[in-house]
Every structure is written in C-alpha cells, then in structure tokens.
C-alpha cells in the first residue's frame, strides 16, 4: 500500500538544502514511488520565499526536486476547514496547513514544527492522520515494511 504523505514547508526546505538526512530520504522515496507526497499552494510559496531569502544559491534545485519526487500540489483549504481547525491551531498560517492536510486525506503529516504540531497533543487528538517528524516517519515506514 502506497502511503499518502503531506509534507510541511520546513521538510521541503531541508531537503533542498541537504543531500542527506531524513527530509531528502523522504523525497527519494517519493521519487521511487514508495510514497505519494502532497503539498499545498501555501507550502509551495513558503518554500520558494524562504529559499530566496535564506539560501538563494539553491533556489534552482527546488523545482527539480519537486518534479523528481512527483509531489502533488493540492489547493489551499476551504475557509470552512480552516475554521474547524482554528480552535486547536490558533496561528492562522499553521491552521491553513493543517486544514490542507486534512482535505488531502493523507495517512501522515510530516513536519519539523515541534511547537505547533509535534508536541501539540490537542492537535494530534483532532486529526485522523499521524503527525510525525521526518525521522519518526521513516522509522514508522521501515517498521511497517518489515512486519
């Protein structure tokens, strides 16, 4: 079964910056068809903006990696879904990302955002998908393939 995975902008950003590490491994898995990766329009814009500001020397790699990994871009979420998640994700940009993840009907949301997602039990209790760091996701994927 191919897993559907929504990735946060920090994961894509890290994958562009480093040829090794869990974020780049996730993109390689997608390129190999092991998983399907999803991002929203907002995530795409955040990555592009952050690369231009913080790492302009690698901006040219970004579209190549998106294409190689066959990343599926979904629309930004509906206002209704954003309103549903705002009670437990009060920062609007993060609420929009969580709402887009919810609408994409994925198995996992992979993020490096500890404060708003990874350590937020309230958020995890309100969604039907796993919220994991890149390393945790790879561990989960490897253990599911060996069982």
pTM of the model: 0.95
Distance CA 29, CA 1 (A): 13
Distance CA 20, CA 111 (A): 17
Q: What's the domain range around 124?
A: 3-146
What is the full per-residue pLDDT of the chain (147 aa) written as tens digits? 889 999 999 999 999 999 999 999 999 999 999 999 999 999 999 999 999 999 999 999 999 999 999 999 999 999 999 999 999 998 999 999 999 999 999 999 999 998 878 888 888 888 999 999 999 999 999 998 776
Number of structural domains (the chain) is 1
pLDDT at 144: 86
For residue 107, what are the CA distances in angstroms to 1, 16, 83, 90, 132? 11, 23, 22, 23, 11
pLDDT at 118: 84
pLDDT at 10: 96
Distance CA 60, CA 108 (A): 28
Read off the CATH number of the domain in which 114 is found.
3.40.50.1010
CA dihedral sign of residues 37, 38, 41, 47 = negative
Furthest-apart CA atoms within the chain: distance in Å: 43
Spatial CA neighbour of 11 closest among 141, 109, 116, 130: 109
Secondary structure string (H, E, C) spanning 106-117: CCEEECCCHHHH
């Amino acid at each position: 079964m191919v897993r559907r995975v929504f990735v946060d902008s920090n994961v894509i950003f890290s994958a562009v910056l480093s040829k090794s590490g869990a974020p780049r491994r996730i993109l390689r898995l997608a390129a190999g068809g092991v998983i399907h990766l999803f991002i929203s329009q907002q995530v795409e814009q955040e990555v592009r903006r952050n690369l231009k500001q913080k790492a302009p020397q690698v901006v040219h790699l970004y579209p190549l990696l998106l294409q190689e990994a066959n990343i599926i871009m979904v629309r930004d979420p509906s206002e209704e879904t954003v309103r549903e998640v705002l009670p437990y994700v009060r920062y609007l940009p993060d609420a929009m990302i969580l709402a887009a993840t919810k609408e994409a009907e994925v198995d996992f949301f992979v993020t490096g955002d500890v404060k708003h997602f990874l350590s937020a039990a309230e958020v995890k209790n309100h969604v039907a998908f796993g919220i994991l760091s890149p390393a945790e996701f790879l561990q989960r994927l490897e253990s599911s393939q060996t069982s």
